[in-house]
Chain A
Amino acid sequence: MSSRRWRESSRTNMSEEQITQLLSTLRQLLPEIPHSHSHKASSAAKVLKQTCNYIKTLHREVDDLSDRLSQLLATIDADSAEAAIIRSLLI
């Protein structure tokens, strides 16, 4: 009985460790926001909130860029020669 409980609790600790690790990776990805009183350790809830906001920002940027590109590419004919040039420029 006790061994099973030990096993279960160790499994819980593993997944908690996993989550902590993943959250710290997530925190590194998020853009730095200067707080007036910045705490070193931001809570998991704060990280999630920043993540949601960041994803929304990225969605808006994609939408914005699609708008701009639809106006710009109107004048360029996206045939193979030009696409190849653009591709080689970006690489």
Chain B
Amino acid sequence: MRSPFSLKQEFLKKWILGLRRCRSSKKNMSIFERKKVIKLSADVAMASARKGTTCWSRALIADAVKEGNADKHLAEKILGPASERQPTEKVPVGAMAYNKRIRSKKILKRSSVIRRTIKCAPQAARPSSIVKTLVGKRRQILRSLIPGGEFMNGVSLIEETLDYIISLRAQVDVMRSLASISKLVNLN
């Protein structure tokens, strides 16, 4: 299991980087816009900390820069110039083991196509009692909560959920620490 501490470090590093990239336009931002920048850069940083090894992280980034997304330019600014972006290694969670290096630029250009083909080890729903509980409203809700959830099934859905929850917790912890520190600095 990846050490949670290094995950937080990776997230913090990428988050600060993303925030700095938006700094120039930050001068006269409304609070609402600033919140959007903070939240989006945090989400994107969390997803890219996974370096493309999980389905939800790839789906989150692909979603952020999708054509027609209102904050597409903001997301692209946060991700930085294409030359600096890491080539995401697409290793699907699950049984299928094909290794392909996909350049981030290609992902951006064909993000709409990639979204449709990001399938994470499609496992046929096997008729067992536990798998049956995954069918139905609960599964729908879970899929709607996880980015890219519509493409996942069965075992891979639960694996992605685990990873997503761990990442969210790390994100919340780091943000909370930053908030308490900022409050202390402000008081001085």
Contact = CB atoms under 8 A, between A and B. Distances in A.
A56 B166 CA distance: 14
If over half of A's interface residues share one DSSP class (helix, strand or loop), that class is named, otherwise mixed; here it is helix
A21 to B, nearest CB: 10
Nearest to B126: A12
Interface SS majority for chain B: helix
Interface in A35-70: 43-45, 48-49, 51-52, 54-56, 58-59, 61-63, 65-70
Interface residues of B, number: 56
Contact of B146 (A48, A55, A83): A55
B185 A22 contact: no
B178 A22 contact: no
Contacts of B134: 19, 44, 48
Interface stretch (B58-66, B68-76, B101-109, B136-144): B136-144
A29 interface: yes
B174 interface: yes
A74 B32 CA distance: 11
A49 B155 CA distance: 17
Interface stretch (B47-55, B82-90, B112-120, B156-164): B156-164
Interface of B: 8-9, 12-13, 16, 19-20, 23, 26, 31-32, 34-35, 38-39, 42-43, 123, 126-131, 133-134, 138-139, 141-142, 145-146, 154-155, 158-159, 161-162, 164-166, 168-169, 171-172, 174-179, 181-183, 185-186
Interface of A: 11-13, 15-16, 18-20, 22-23, 25-26, 29, 43-45, 48-49, 51-52, 54-56, 58-59, 61-63, 65-76, 78-80, 83, 86-87, 89-91
